[in-house]
Structure 1
Amino acid sequence: MKISRTSASELIDANCVHVNSREAARSYRVSFADKIKVSELPASDAEPELLAADYEIEIPILYEDQDLVVINKPAGVAAHSSVGWSGPNVISRLTQQGQRISTSGAAERQGIVQRLDVGTSGVMIIAKSEIAYSHLKQQFRDRTVKKIYLAIVQGYPDPANGTIDAPIGRHPGADYRFAVVAGGRPSITHYDTLEMYRYASLLRIELETGRTHQIRVHLAAVRHPCVGDLTYGADPTLADKLNLKRQWLHAAELGFIHPSSGEKMYFKAELPQDLVHAQELLSDVLV
C-alpha cells in the first residue's frame, strides 16, 4: 500500500487503522507478527435524511488574516468534500468566496485542522498558510485548544455536572456511526448543566479529546442523546414538536494560540435561528 504520511495520519485519526483488532495510535511501533487492517475513510459524517442545505449558502466569517480564517459553520454544510456527500462543504464555499486555503493535508481536506459534523453548527478554524496548518494541527494533538459546545439533551443528566470518560470506536453495525466500545480510542467529555426544561437540559460541554461524533456518542451512551439526534437514539416526536431537523448541538467557543504571533485568540459563535427557536419552545413549555 502506497500512502503519504499525511494520509496515514488522517486514517489513524479517523479510527480506520487497527493493529491486532485494536484501534492504532500514532505512537504505535509495528512488530513483525502484527496484523494490520486499514479501512477506508467514512464516506461522510452525514447521516441519512439530514436536513437539506442551500448550495448557495454563505459561510459567515468571524475573523481572517493571512494565516487562518475562523467561521460560524452553518448546519447542513460538510467540513470538506468526500465520497458519498453531494452537498455543500466549507472548503469549496470559502474558495468561491475568495479565500485562499492551505495546500497542506490530504487533497480533499486541505486546510482542515478540525471538523464539525454536517449537522453541527458553530465556530470552526481553517488554515490558510502552511505554517498555520502545522501549528494548529499540533495544538489540537496536544489538546491545548479550548473547545466549548452547547447541547440540549433529552432528560436530566445525573450528576448534573460531570465527566464522561469512555473509549470510542466504530459502531459494529453501521459505517457512519460510532459507539463506546472496548478497545476504542480514549475519549473524555466534561459537561455542566446550565438550564433544565420540561423534557430536556441545556449543557455546556468542554472536550478534552476530539473524536468523531464524540459528544453525540457519549451523551447517547449515558441515555441523554442530543435532542433531534435521531442517528443516536433521540425521540423523533420531540424533534418534530420543536421543528428540529438536526441535533441540537453548537460549537459555541474556540480558543487557541495564533500560529504566527503567539497571541491568544478566542472566538464565540452565535446560535443559529433553528436552535434558538427550539430552545424558546422548550423554555415556554409549549411541547
Structure 2
Amino acid sequence: MKETYQVTSEQAGTRIDKLMSEIESDASRSQVQSWIKDGHLTVSGETVKNKYKVQEGDTIEWEIPEPEPLEIKAEDIPLDIVYEDEDVIVVNKPRGMVVHPSVGHPSGTLVNALLHHCDDLSGINGVERPGIVHRIDKDTSGLLMVAKNDKAHHSLGEQLSDKTIKREYEAIVHGEISHEYGTIDAPIGRDQKDRQSMAVVENGKPSVTHFKVLELFKDFTHVECVLETGRTHQIRVHMKYINHPLAGDPKYGPRKTLPIEGQALHAKTLGFIHPRTGEELRFEVAPPNDFVEMLDLLKKRS
C-alpha cells in the first residue's frame, strides 16, 4: 500500500534518504536508498537521487517492497513449550535463539523449530514469520505467544494493539535505583547517530515502561519491568535513558560487567485472553540458570 507525506518548513533542506529514515523509523538509511534506487519512492511524482534535499510542500510517495521470501526449513530443535492447544502455543525461548529467520540468521531460529513441531501456524506474517505475533530479542529469554491460525493471530494482535496483553520482565541493571517504583514515558525511534540502534528521540513512537525494584545490590539493581507499549528494544533503551542500562547489554550498556552472555533480561510473565474460549490465561516462568547465578553472585558481593 502506498503512503504519502508532505514536507514541512522545518524539514526543508534535509536529504531525502535521511528524512525518510526518520519518517519510517523501522527502516535504515541504506534501505531507504535502495527504495529510491528501485523506484519505490518518488517526490512530487518524480524520481530523485539519495542526495536530493526536500523542499517545503514536497509530497513524498513510497511503497515498501515485499521482502524476497527465504527458504524456511523445519529443524528438529528442542522447544520448551509451556502451553499448547489448537489455537496458540506459549514457548519459553532460551537466550541466544533468534525468533525468526533473516538474511543473517537463516536457520536455528524459533520459527525453524516451530515448523518441525507443527504444520498449522498462522500465515498473516508471511512465510518468514509464520505464527509470530510478537518478538523478543535474541539474547532475551522467556515467554512468547505463537498463533496457530489466522483467527487466533488477529485476536492476539488486537490485544497487543489495545495494550491488554500482560508482559512482565525481570532485569538486572547497572547502578542502585533510589526509589521503589517508576514509570518511563519517553518516545522511542531510530537512533540518528547509529541506525542499527534505537533511542529516545523527540519524533519517536510513544513508549511507556513501568518498573519496580525487587532487590538492591552494590552497583546493581534487580528490577521488574512491565510493558505498556512494545517498541523495539524498549526496556533496554528506557533503562539506558535513565542511566541504569541492563547488565551484559552489548548494544546499550557496558559490556561484560557480569559473567553473562547478552543482556540480563527475562520475559517472565505473559497474560492474554484466549482467542477462542475468552478465558484469561496467565503464564509465568523462572529466569534461566545464568540469570539466577548472577543474582546469587551479586548477593555474595553485597
TM superposition score category, shorter chain reference = 0.7 to 0.9
5+ residue gaps, structure 2, are 4-18, 27-43, 45-56, 68-74
Partner of 1:111: 131
Cross-structure match for 1:183: 203
What letter matches 1:78 in structure 2?
A: V
**What corresponds to 2:263 in structure 1?**
247
Q: Structure 1 stretches of 5 or more lacking a match?
A: 4-17, 26-30, 43-54
Task: State the shift of 1:22 in Å.
Answer: 3.8
- Cα deviation for residue 34 of structure 1 reads 3.9
1:282 aligned to 2:298? yes
Indicate the RMSD between aligned Cα atoms, in angstroms. 2.9
**Cα deviation digits, residues 140-197 of structure 1 (max 9, x gap):** 0110001100011001224331100000001123333100111000000000101001
Distance 1:269 1:20 in 2: 38
CA shift digits 1:232-258 (9 cap, x unpaired): 02243x22xxx2011000000011000
Residue of structure 1 equivalent to 2:167: 147
- CA distance in 2 between counterparts of 1:41 and 1:218 reads 31
CA contact (8 A) 2:189 2:203 kept: yes
Q: Is the 8 A contact 2:237 2:252 kept in 1?
A: yes
In 2, Cα distance between equivalents of 1:274 and 1:41: 39
Does the CA-based 8 Å contact 1:19-1:34 persist in structure 2?
no
Task: Provide the C-alpha distance between the structure 2 equivalents of 1:57 and 1:95, rounded to a whole number of angstroms.
Answer: 10
Q: CA 1:162–1:198 in 2, change beyond 3 Å: closer, same or farther? A: same
Q: Kindly tell me: are residues 280 and 245 of structure 1, through their superposed partners in 2, closer, same or farther at Cα, counting changes over 3 Å?
A: same
Matched length: 252
The structure-2 alpha-carbon separation of the partners of 1:36 and 1:186, relative to structure 1 and needing over 3 Å to count, comes to: farther
Cα separation, 1, equivalents of 2:157 and 2:178 = 35
Runs of 4+ in 1 over 3 A off after TM superposition: 18-25, 31-34, 36-42
SS at match of 1:159: coil
* Residue 127 of structure 1: aligned partner: 147
Distance in 2 between residues matched to 1:41 and 1:74, nearest whole Å? 30
Asked whether 1:79 is paired with 2:99, we answer yes
Cα contact 2:248–2:254 (8 A) shared by 1: yes
Q: Over alpha carbons, which structure has the higher Rg? A: 2
TM-score scaled by length of structure 2: 0.76
2:219 maps to 1:194: no
Provide TM-score, normalisation by structure 1. 0.80
- Deviation, 1:99, is 5.3
Q: Is the 8 A contact 2:189 2:204 kept in 1?
A: yes
Identity of paired residues, percent?
40
Separation in structure 1 between the aligned mates of residue 142 and residue 189 of structure 2, nearest angstrom: 24
CA contact (8 A) 2:22 2:190 kept: no
Please give the per-residue CA displacement for 1:54-88, whole angstroms capped at 9, x wherever unaligned: x8652200000000100100011111111222452
